[in-house]
């Protein structure tokens, strides 16, 4: 079983409009509503790949109840969410169907009390002995300590459970120092962590700070991975148009599934890039175009330089 942690869950609402223009009214042509937050997106993709997944994190209020109702109907995902008093946030994505551009509006999330944080830690530590890998994903809601991910990384590592960290800012800096098995920042997050805007130098710096493996997301240019075994670059076969929301979460799902299946690194990276690209072609985060994924996974170019680590 794989465990995904989403401390700042969300109800993802996606609007499609013919053209997004400031200061005007818009007629929405399509609406989708899904349980969201990075870790829940990861969980849904992993379940679609056939993995058993348990999802934990915080949930509260009317929005939280709507999220739980939808998560319960998601095949393959077990709900281990922890209740809080404050309401779960909403995220609004507005997709311009003419250009393919997406505008994202993210609410901050509920205020989590110290007692609620302790209750979550108890649930997390109870789940850890039964899992094969953990993904710690997304932002921290108000009230959760900035070093929360570092604590969760150390708890997983104390039981020899592989842990992937996907966050940003100070939670990433502190989390990396706890020596996670894998981090998956994008180039902006890497630059903020290391001060370097050159991806290879930044991935090296991130490894020196404590991460065993760094997989840098380069957007439409694919992935750059670095660990003690070597360096790999995975590139999609070509650009695609669509909604990029959740593409990075599908990268996490690809990497985690490859880890628990013990795939070689080139195959893990090819899967991650193919899933990410297929997610851009899907209507909402946490989903992917299965036919496109099957066609793309064999066409991802992965180059290796084993002397570069």
Distance of CA 167 to the CA centre of its chain: 8
- Token pair for residue 159? 């039981």
Selected catalytic residue, list 166, 249, 289, 305: 249
Report d(CA 20, CA 193) in Å as an integer: 33
Largest CA distance in the chain: 56
CB neighbour list of residue 231: distance below 8 Å, 6 or more residues apart? 200, 224, 225, 304, 305, 306, 308, 309
Q: Is the dihedral of CA 64, 46, 168, 124 positive or negative?
A: positive
Per the CB < 8 A criterion, the answer to whether 182 and 165 are in contact is yes
Q: DSSP for 17-62?
A: ES---TTS-----EEEEEEESHHHHHHHHHHHTT--EEEEEEE-HH
Distance of CA 13 to the CA centre of its chain: 17
Q: What is the pairing mode between strands 213-217 and 223-227?
A: antiparallel
Q: What is the dihedral of CA 199, 182, 252, 198, to 10 degrees?
A: 0
Q: Does the annotation count 249 as an active-site position?
A: yes
User: Which of 277, 280, 279 has its CA nearest to residue 299?
Assistant: 277
- What interhelical angle do 38-48 and 247-260 show, nearest 10? 50
Report d(CA 152, CA 143) in Å as an integer: 16
Residues tagged active-site: 249
């Amino acid at each position: 079983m794989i465990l995904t942690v989403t401390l700042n869950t969300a109800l993802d609402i996606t609007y499609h409009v013919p053209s997004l223009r400031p200061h005007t009214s818009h007629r929405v042509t399509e609406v989708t509503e899904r349980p969201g937050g990075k870790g829940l997106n990861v969980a849904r993709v992993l379940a679609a790949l056939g993995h058993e997944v348990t999802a934990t994190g915080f949930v509260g209020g009317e929005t939280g109840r709507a999220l739980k109702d939808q998560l319960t109907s998601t095949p393959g995902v077990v709900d281990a969410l922890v209740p809080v008093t404050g309401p779960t946030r909403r995220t609004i994505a507005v997709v311009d169907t003419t250009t393919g551009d997406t505008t994202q509006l993210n609410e901050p999330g509920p205020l989590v009390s110290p007692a609620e944080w302790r209750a979550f830690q108890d649930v997390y530590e109870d789940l850890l002995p039964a899992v094969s890998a953990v993904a710690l994903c997304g932002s921290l809601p108000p009230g959760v300590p900035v070093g929360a991910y570092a604590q969760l990384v150390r708890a997983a590592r104390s039981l020899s459970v592989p842990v992937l960290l996907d966050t940003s800012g100070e939670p990433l800096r502190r989390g990396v120092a706890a020596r996670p098995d894998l981090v998956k920042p994008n180039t902006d997050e890497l630059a903020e962590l290391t001060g370097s805007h050159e991806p290879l130098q930044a991935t090296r710096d991130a490894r020196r700070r404590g991460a065993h493996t760094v997989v840098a997301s380069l957007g439409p240019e694919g992935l750059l991975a670095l660990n003690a075994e070597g360096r790999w670059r995975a590139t999609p076969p070509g650009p695609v148009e669509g909604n990029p929301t959740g593409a990075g979460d599908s990268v996490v799902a690809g990497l985690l599934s490859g880890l628990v299946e013990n795939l070689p690194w080139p195959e893990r990276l090819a899967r991650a890039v193919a899933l990410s690209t297929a997610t851009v072609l899907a209507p909402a985060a946490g989903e992917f175009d299965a036919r496109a994924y099957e066609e793309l996974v064999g066409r991802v170019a992965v180059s290796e330089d084993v002397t570069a680590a």
